[in-house]
């Protein structure tokens, strides 16, 4: 990441690139097409197909993730069961010998957003400068803004000065929200919440606030219809608006502006970008328990899961069990 002392131009370029990558979309060039603001957790886990009752493909993708479910084809049934057993041990978070619906739901949600943990693992060393397996606010600030802070005069007459000046306190506010124990350092889970706040319940208010700040150009604390449209569409040429923009104006009036005062407050923004949709992970967890719970005590033993192994993993292949025990213990 951006480090002072490694060359002025290289440090500046890296610093600017990182800031832009971490910045919200509203700080990039305005799009001329629709921008998606709505956050949909478990977006890869859609509705269960009606025709999947026999193949268990939906169950496999929910339980393992799409990529790992594809690689299961190379294993024998014995190998699949062995690796499934390793996964069951990880799912049983309290170690009581049973897998509950809640534990399964937590697992499925984690699998569906595994990509974010992989992303954090890839960048972790760039921020953990003292290699103590934690990232302090100072470490993050120096890695991201060090060149800017050390060479402020180079930014005085550029638009980047405004960008850095805005993003630094914003990042610090988000870091504090992710830092649940308030020790000014982030564990891997806390740093994941910092980089991907939309995936964590306790960060949802930050997502709402940052969205409001991005779109609210006149600074009145609300989002009016023109600001709402401007966030999605840049009308650079004269002429009529595209049909989808007209449709979005109708959406604003009919469904976004709940109290019909012509603008969106924080509650209305939350309702817009964080919809309370059907919980696919919960439904899948209940399904797996129902189909495998032989004694109907509403929880699963490892034996019950292994007896119904074909529903969970099939005769497919993965290094997922080994991957979990070797590479992802820290997550």
Instruction: Report if residue 230 sits inside a domain.
Output: no
Terminal Cα-to-Cα distance of the chain (whole angstroms): 22
Instruction: Report if residue 188 sits inside a domain.
Output: yes
Beta strand extents in the chain (DSSP E only): 135-136, 185-186, 223-224, 263-264
Give the domain range for residue 126: 55-222+265-313
Instruction: Report if residue 309 sits inside a domain.
Output: yes
Instruction: Report if residue 231 sits inside a domain.
Output: no
Q: Which stretches in the chain have pLDDT values below 70? A: 1-36, 39-55, 66-74, 236-238, 277-278, 314-331
Instruction: Report if residue 71 sits inside a domain.
Output: yes
Bridge partner list, 136: 185
Instruction: Report if residue 139 sits inside a domain.
Output: yes
Predicted structure pTM score:
0.63
Bridge partner list, 317: none
DSSP readout, 132-164? Answer: SS-EEHHHHHHHHHHHHHH-GGGGTTSHHHHHH
What is the tally of structural domains in the chain?
1
Q: Give the model's pLDDT for residue 79.
A: 83
38-91: pLDDT as tens digits: 765 555 555 555 444 455 777 877 787 766 666 665 677 888 888 899 999 999
Residue 315 DSSP label: T
User: What CA–CA distances, in Å, run from 156 to 93, 283, 331?
Assistant: 52, 54, 40
Q: Give the model's pLDDT for residue 219.
A: 96
- Smallest Cα–Cα separation from 272: which of 34, 39, 27? 39
């Amino acid at each position: 990441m951006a480090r002072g002392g490694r060359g002025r131009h290289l440090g500046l370029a890296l610093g600017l690139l990182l800031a832009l990558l971490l910045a919200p979309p509203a700080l990039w060039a305005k799009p001329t097409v629709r921008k998606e603001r709505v956050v949909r957790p478990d977006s890869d886990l859609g509705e269960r197909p009606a025709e999947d009752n026999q193949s268990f493909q939906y169950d496999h993708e929910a339980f393992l993730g799409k990529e790992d479910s594809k690689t299961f084809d190379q294993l024998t049934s014995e190998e699949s069961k062995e690796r499934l057993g390793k996964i069951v041990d990880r799912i049983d978070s309290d170690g009581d010998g049973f897998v509950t619906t809640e534990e399964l739901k937590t697992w499925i949600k984690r699998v569906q957003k595994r990509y974010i943990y992989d992303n954090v693992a890839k960048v972790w060393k760039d921020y953990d400068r003292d290699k103590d397996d934690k990232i302090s606010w100072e470490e993050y600030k120096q890695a991201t803004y060090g060149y800017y802070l050390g060479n402020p005069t180079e930014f005085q007459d550029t638009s980047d000065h405004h960008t850095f000046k805005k993003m630094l306190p914003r990042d610090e506010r988000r870091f504090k929200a992710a830092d649940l124990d308030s020790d000014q350092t982030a564990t891997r889970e806390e740093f994941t919440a910092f980089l991907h706040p939309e995936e964590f319940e306790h960060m949802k208010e930050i997502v709402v606030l940052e969205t409001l700040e991005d779109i609210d150009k006149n600074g009145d604390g609300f989002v009016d219809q023109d600001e709402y449209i401007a966030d999605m569409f840049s009308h650079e040429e004269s002429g009529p608006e595209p049909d989808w923009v007209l449709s979005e104006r109708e959406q604003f009036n009919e469904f976004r502006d709940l109290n019909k005062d012509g603008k969106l407050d924080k509650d209305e923004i939350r309702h817009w970008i964080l919809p309370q949709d059907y919980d696919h992970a919960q439904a899948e967890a209940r399904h797996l328990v129902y189909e495998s719970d032989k004694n109907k005590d509403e929880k699963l033993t490892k034996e019950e899961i292994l007896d119904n192994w074909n529903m969970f993993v099939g005769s497919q292949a993965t290094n997922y069990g080994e991957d979990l025990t070797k590479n992802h213990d820290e997550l």
